[in-house]
Amino acid sequence: MTIAALSEVAADADDLSVWPASAHRLPHGGLAVGGVSLAEVADRFATPVYVLDEGEVRARCRTYRDAFPDTDVLYAAKAFLSRAVVRWVDEEGLGLDVCSAGELELAVTAGFPADRVVLHGNAKSPHDIEAALRLGVGRIVIDSPSEVARLAAAVGTGGFQRVMVRVVPGISAGGHEKIRTGTEGQKFGLSPADGSAQRVVARILGQPQLELTGLHCHIGSQITEVGPYAMAVRRMVDLMAGIRDAHGVVLPELDMGGGHGIAYRPGEPALDLTALARRLRGELAAGCAASGLTVPRLAIEPGRAVIGPAGVALYRVLAVKHADDRVFVAVDGGMSDNPRPALYGVRYAPRLVGRRSTAQGRTTTVVGRHCEAGDILAADVELPGDVHPGDLLAVPVAGAYQLSMASGYNMVGRPPVVAVGDGTARLLVRRETLADFRRRDIGG
């Protein structure tokens, strides 16, 4: 390895820019988050374990509230939800975006006010709709023509439900093809270009028990530039003006979805929230003025940017292997707790914690323990050359779409979630055990 590459390793190892703001170095290679040593968390709760910095989640909620005054900020539960997170988000004054009866019931039974919840889904089950109506969800976002009559029937004559329409504004944005949802030709939303959005709007307006409050779009996820949002606002305002012209109805709400991108590794770009807020407001005001529309109340639905950077995954090294000229460091988790590298080719920046190493850096591939060659957590990352079984690796920016997408693959069991803050650690979600697998398997 060249001297330049070596100093890059040292710089990377020292760079805490993608870590929670509370992260700080301890003597002897230790690292603390929320005032708690990660090595101590690993000892106390075993590994793999997910650590969530409560202060970081709350601070991110506040950043949104400050950057987006007069906007409803709805946390997208799909990124990660637990009863404690429900409480934090509620206390910080955010609303909630859910996409199943499960997310909805967890939130409401944890005390979240149902009227601040929006229910999404391209294919809502009868159970989803029943739960939404029973619990009194604030808004249901309609995503297909057949849903209108089905929902109206479930609401019943004399009943009442506020709804929105999910629109595809025809914009391609997002960190990976699988998470781009703003274009035609994918399963989400209704297109104004082919008239299906306008047809569904007309159907809803014909149902007295449904009140159409506005339009919704979510153009994609892990978007790091403001431009696609600005274009989406313009198209949504055009559609709102068209609806006013056709039906004489001025819709009072516009939900621009989430998708705000974050850095997973030092140096990567993140969406500038202040710039986003300014641009959304500006485009909305200009578009509405030009079309003679009253400016609708804005809503946004960030998930990843609220919870992602607050999470840290901790793994214990189980094996080190040299194959060809590659070094594989195998840990006690993998694609069952984090399927994102396998699904989207996402790159992470793991780091050795809990001991100081003076060894030279070397290019290492961190792999999981599952029965697939594709079970790679971090390919070609720089780690000290003496990493060995028993060492602890920490992966920052692990709070979003990891545990919420975790599986029971190989019956390893999903890791626990531990909240840290003010120097204390407490268990939020316990580890999934063999007893859990056994209990579900009724034998037959």
Footprint of ligand LLP on this chain (CB under 6 A)?
76, 78-79, 97, 120, 179, 218, 221-222, 257-260, 301-305, 340, 344, 401, 405
Contact in structure between 33 and 312 (CB atoms under 8 Å): yes
**φ, ψ dihedrals at 424, nearest 5°:** -125, 155
Q: How far apart are CA 377 and CA 211, in angstroms?
A: 46
Q: How far apart are CA 212 and CA 144, in angstroms?
A: 14
Q: What are the beta bridge partners of residue 366? A: 329, 378
- Min dist. Cβ of residue 38 to ligand LLP (A): 23
If the CB atoms of residues 48 and 220 are measured against ligand LLP, the closer one turns out to be 220
Q: CB burial class (10 A; 0-12, 13-18, 19+) of residue 406?
A: buried
DSSP 174: S
Say how many C-beta atoms besides its own lie within 10 A of residue 185's C-beta: 7
Q: How far apart are CA 147 and CA 152, in angstroms?
A: 8
If the CB atoms of residues 169 and 384 are measured against ligand LLP, the closer one turns out to be 169
- Min dist. Cβ of residue 428 to ligand LLP (A): 20
- Min dist. Cβ of residue 4 to ligand LLP (A): 32
If the CB atoms of residues 256 and 314 are measured against ligand LLP, the closer one turns out to be 256
Q: How far apart are CA 341 and CA 117, in angstroms?
A: 31
Q: How far apart are CA 266 and CA 432, in angstroms?
A: 32
If the CB atoms of residues 97 and 128 are measured against ligand LLP, the closer one turns out to be 97
Annotated catalytic residue, options 99, 217, 288, 371: 371
If the CB atoms of residues 303 and 311 are measured against ligand LLP, the closer one turns out to be 303
371 is catalytic: yes
If the CB atoms of residues 97 and 382 are measured against ligand LLP, the closer one turns out to be 97
If the CB atoms of residues 183 and 221 are measured against ligand LLP, the closer one turns out to be 221
Residues 6+ apart with CB under 8 A from 191: 167, 168, 170, 184, 197
- Cα 79 to Cα 23, 340, 429: the distances in Å are 22, 12, 15
Contact in structure between 323 and 354 (CB atoms under 8 Å): no
Residues 6+ apart with CB under 8 A from 20: 33, 34, 53, 55, 56, 309, 310, 312, 396
- Min dist. Cβ of residue 73 to ligand LLP (A): 11
If the CB atoms of residues 175 and 354 are measured against ligand LLP, the closer one turns out to be 175
- Min dist. Cβ of residue 343 to ligand LLP (A): 7
Q: What are the beta bridge partners of residue 76? A: 97
Residues 6+ apart with CB under 8 A from 416: 45, 49, 50, 427, 428, 429, 430, 431
- Min dist. Cβ of residue 275 to ligand LLP (A): 16
**φ, ψ dihedrals at 102, nearest 5°:** -60, -55
DSSP 74-112: EEEGGG---HHHHHHHHHTT-EEEE-SHHHHHHHHHTT-
Half-sphere exposure of 383 (CA within 13 A, CB side): 29
If the CB atoms of residues 284 and 403 are measured against ligand LLP, the closer one turns out to be 403
- Min dist. Cβ of residue 197 to ligand LLP (A): 16
| Angle subtended at Cα 142 by Cα 140 and Cα 145, rounded to the nearest 5 degrees | 150
- Min dist. Cβ of residue 427 to ligand LLP (A): 24
Amino acid in position 395: V
- Min dist. Cβ of residue 332 to ligand LLP (A): 22
Q: Any idea which residues carry the catalytic annotation?
A: 371
